[in-house]
């Protein structure tokens, strides 16, 4: 059975990986509702735009969290071939479960982000490091699947042997995006301040994979979507479905 050393850590302090997107915003709301002291870690890894980082700052301030933006901005320049780090690769439009969305994979991204958060967690003796991946991520992103989290927990234990280590938690792992929209709305999360669009711009485009997933989540949940989109009417057929 997995052993988690909490002898000198604070079980009610959580380091949250906060991208500024919808999932991590609801993650902040989730742990705030549980009355955890919050430390938010946002990594600037040289992504295509900074809108989500600006959103992360607003969301951290909303929850009164200590917020750290870690500058890895040169990292993205080494990761050619991803639409999120390489300006020569177009951000694909369409349903988020299409194979075309593989262009948005950033190699090993969550391993890097999670490791940074774990380092902070060990340093501040937090009991928890929280990640916001959910079931809708599993198809495209290998670092959003249960085996990734299981392996990460093992790595954290080995890499920090002899020290109080945080437990890596991904409470939405088996949830749909609609479940997250529902949970966030119930908790009063500032979803209108979160940013999902991979393209940047003044408002969400509404048709890139992550915008469409966001739109669909609120629709499936039967909730009012607080997001402004340039295009909120285009409908994409999910893979394997017909209309």
DSSP annotation of 20 reads S
Residues of the chain with pLDDT under 70: 1-7, 242-243
Architecture field, domain 10-221: 3-Layer(aba) Sandwich (3.40)
Global pTM reads: 0.94
pLDDT at 3: 46
pLDDT at 6: 47
* Per-domain residue ranges of the chain: 10-221
pLDDT in tens, 102-159: 999 999 999 999 999 999 999 999 999 999 999 999 999 999 999 999 999 999 999 9
Which residues of 25-149 form beta strands (DSSP E)?
37-44, 66-71, 126-130
Q: What distance in Å separates the CA atoms of residue 183 and residue 74, rounded to the nearest whole number?
A: 35
């Amino acid at each position: 059975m997995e052993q988690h050393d909490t002898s000198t850590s604070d079980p009610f302090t959580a380091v949250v990986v906060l991208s500024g997107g919808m999932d991590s915003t609801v993650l902040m709301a989730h742990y705030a509702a549980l009355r955890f002291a919050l430390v938010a870690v946002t990594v600037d890894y040289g992504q295509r735009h900074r809108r989500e980082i600006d959103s992360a700052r607003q969301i951290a301030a909303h929850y009164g969290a200590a917020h750290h933006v870690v500058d890895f901005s040169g990292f993205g320049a080494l990761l050619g071939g991803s639409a999120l780090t390489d300006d020569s690769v177009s951000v694909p439009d369409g349903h988020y479960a299409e194979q075309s969305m593989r262009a948005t994979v950033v190699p090993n991204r969550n391993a890097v982000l999670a490791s940074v958060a774990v380092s902070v967690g060990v340093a501040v003796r937090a009991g928890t490091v929280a990640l916001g991946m959910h079931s809708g991520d599993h198809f495209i992103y290998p670092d959003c699947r249960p085996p990734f989290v299981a392996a990460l927990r093992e790595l954290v234990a080995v890499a920090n042997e002899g020290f109080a280590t945080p437990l890596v938690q991904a409470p939405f792992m088996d949830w749909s995006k609609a479940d997250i929209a529902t949970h966030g709305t119930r908790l009063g999360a500032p979803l209108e301040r979160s940013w999902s669009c991979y393209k940047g711009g003044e408002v969400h485009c509404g048709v890139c994979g992550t915008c469409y997933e966001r739109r669909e989540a609120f629709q499936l949940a039967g909730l009012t979507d607080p997001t402004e989109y340039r295009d909120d009417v285009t409908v994409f057929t999910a893979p394997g479905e017909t209309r």
